[in-house]
Amino acid sequence: MKKDALQETSSKWTLAKANDLIAKQSAEIDALQSTIKTLSARIAKLEERQKTNSKNSSLPPSKDKSSKNKTNAKRNAKRKALGRKRGGQPGHKKHERSLVPQEAVDHTVICLPPTECGCGGRVDCAKTNFRRHQQYEFPVIKPIVTEYQLYTGHCQHCKKSHKGRLPLGVSWSMLGPRATAMTAHLSGSYRLSKKNIVNIYSDLFNFTCSTGMVCKAEQTVSQALQGPVSAAHDFIKHAKHQGVNADETGFKQQGKGHWAWLATHQNVAVFLIRKNRSKKVAKELLGTEFNGILCSDRYNAYNFVDKEQRQYCWAHLDRDFCKMAGRSGVSKIIGNALMTLTDTLFHHWHLFIDGKISRRQLRARIRRLREKILVQLRRGKRARNSATAGTCRTLLKYEKSLWLFAKIDGIEPTNNLAERLIRTLVIWKKTSFGTQSKKGSTYMERIMSVVATCKLQHRNILEYLTQAVQCFVEKTKPPSLLPEIKENEQALIAA
């Protein structure tokens, strides 16, 4: 009897111990599963980051993992496989420099053949049979120096002193209007550093100046451009029923992170450089009561613009779909499907641009394509991958912002125009490491606005800058950056 009780007690103790051990092991298993889930998600994010390139993100092609050497090696291998040599291929179109008309030639040198042949015979020269060869040479350039001698006189009656004054349109600067404009042209259009501008003036123009003089010239140009750039900014803010493309990129001021913003509309472009990338700056760029059609990426700072006034950039969406296709499972399937549909969308758009289909046909084709894209987005909304689900959920929320290009004339499916214009500033930033003061950033805003606008309007940048500086010195109305517009629109901009 006693032995049975002891065995029963021992069994209960063993069972309790086993239950405790099982509960402990279950807790450890749950903790390990949670850790595995967390680490798996982290590994997936790291693998996705490792696959990030210029095709699925905003990274420039120079940041891609594949180097130029590998690319060149592939090209060379392909060339060898096709049996091609370097250079122009047989049968390619010939490119030749056309000769300048004879009346526009500065000097003509007649080269006659010898009068006697090696055999002793006389050589007759056919004056109508000759070959033309033209050689270009640059003249030695030196600046035109004008000296202004300011005399002092005294009144014979009251002995008051009188001094001569500089003529109208002449400032106290060492550089004249065109030289000042050229300095800004070299730094803004050609992205040269102040030291390189000094070196060019010394090497090509036999003119010596300091980097401080370059800074002074830039500030003079900045003041001269204040009015025209401000008017251009107002023009963009009051754009109605027309497409405004916007973009932004990182910038440096005194080594600190800033942002450069760009908005362009109807051959007019304006830059802003500010400390942050907030909605406040976006409203400063576009105006608090923006009434136009904005084409941009999906950046949240532009969300104050109504959905029906905003066109999402399909080039940026294609990158998002490419990143989606780089994931596993359902995300990969949906991403590949959306990439294929995006290619079809661009195919229809190019047919419309080339005049092969009408606006009505474009709308009909986009309408059919829209249903297929919505099906994939609804599938992606239910995906397990949070990034895929989040992207699809956002696109469904702003679905009206995907199709304005098919409905409204003048609206494009991408903001490639803004990306092309902002590239000049991006390259300048990489070679100069940004600006060193607020004044320097203001100058960059204004000179880049002029450079981009003049390129869009096919205007001579140097001539415009020269006119602007001349008007600033003479205190007259500067040349406008605005295209020709109707009188009622001018009144609206002035108001």
Question: What type of residue is 231?
Answer: A
Residue 64 lies in a domain: no
Considering the domain architecture, whether residues 300 and 423 belong to the same structural domain is answered as yes
The pLDDT value given to residue 487: 39
The pLDDT value given to residue 74: 59
Q: From CA 272, how far away is CA 94, in angstroms rounded?
A: 45
Considering the domain architecture, whether residues 487 and 437 belong to the same structural domain is answered as yes
Per residue in 420-446, pLDDT (tens digit) is 999 999 988 888 888 989 999 999 999
Q: What confidence category does residue 479 fall into, taking pLDDT thresholds of 50, 70 and 90?
A: very high
Residue 83 lies in a domain: no
The pLDDT value given to residue 495: 47
Q: What confidence category does residue 488 fall into, taking pLDDT thresholds of 50, 70 and 90?
A: very low
Per residue in 229-246, pLDDT (tens digit) is 999 999 998 877 678 999
CATH of the domain at 277: 3.30.420
Q: From CA 309, how far away is CA 303, in angstroms rounded?
A: 10
Q: What confidence category does residue 98 fall into, taking pLDDT thresholds of 50, 70 and 90?
A: confident
Considering the domain architecture, whether residues 362 and 282 belong to the same structural domain is answered as no
- Spatial contact of 108 and 102, defined as CB atoms under 8 Å apart: yes
User: For residue 356, what is the DSSP state?
Assistant: S
Per DSSP, helices labelled H in 146-302 are 177-188, 194-205, 211-237, 279-286
Domain edge (last residue) among 359, 375, 407: 407
Domain edge (last residue) among 385, 407, 429: 407
Strands 268-274 and 256-265: antiparallel
pTM of the model: 0.78
Q: What confidence category does residue 19 fall into, taking pLDDT thresholds of 50, 70 and 90?
A: confident
The answer to whether residue 220 scores a pLDDT higher than 50 is yes
Q: From CA 52, how far away is CA 389, in angstroms rounded?
A: 19
- Spatial contact of 116 and 125, defined as CB atoms under 8 Å apart: no
**Residue whose token pair is 């602007």:** 468
Cα–Cα separations (whole angstroms), residue 141 to 76, 209, 355, 464? 44, 16, 50, 22
Structural domain total, the chain: 2
Per residue in 175-219, pLDDT (tens digit) is 999 999 999 999 988 989 999 999 999 999 888 899 999 999 999
Our CA angle for 38, 318, 416, nearest 5°, is 130
Q: From CA 264, how far away is CA 27, in angstroms rounded?
A: 60
Q: What confidence category does residue 347 fall into, taking pLDDT thresholds of 50, 70 and 90?
A: very high
- Spatial contact of 145 and 174, defined as CB atoms under 8 Å apart: no
- Spatial contact of 320 and 378, defined as CB atoms under 8 Å apart: no
Q: From CA 10, how far away is CA 4, in angstroms rounded?
A: 10
Per residue in 362-403, pLDDT (tens digit) is 999 999 999 999 999 999 999 888 889 999 999 999 999 999
Interval 262-271 mean pLDDT: 92
Considering the domain architecture, whether residues 232 and 266 belong to the same structural domain is answered as yes
- Tell me the residue range of the domain where 471 lies: 216-310+415-494
Q: What confidence category does residue 115 fall into, taking pLDDT thresholds of 50, 70 and 90?
A: confident
Q: How many residues does the chain have?
A: 495
The pLDDT value given to residue 206: 87
Residue 240 lies in a domain: yes
Domain edge (last residue) among 407, 437, 462: 407
Average pLDDT of the chain to the nearest whole number: 86
Residues 6+ apart with CB under 8 A from 304: 279, 282, 283, 290
**Comparison of pLDDT for 102 and 85, the residue scoring more:** 102
Considering the domain architecture, whether residues 276 and 244 belong to the same structural domain is answered as yes
Considering the domain architecture, whether residues 241 and 286 belong to the same structural domain is answered as yes
The answer to whether residue 85 scores a pLDDT higher than 70 is yes
Instruction: Determine what percent of the chain falls in helix, strand and coil, rounding each to the nearest 5.
Output: 55, 10, 35
| 3-state SS class at 47 | helix
Question: What type of residue is 213?
Answer: M
Considering the domain architecture, whether residues 239 and 291 belong to the same structural domain is answered as yes
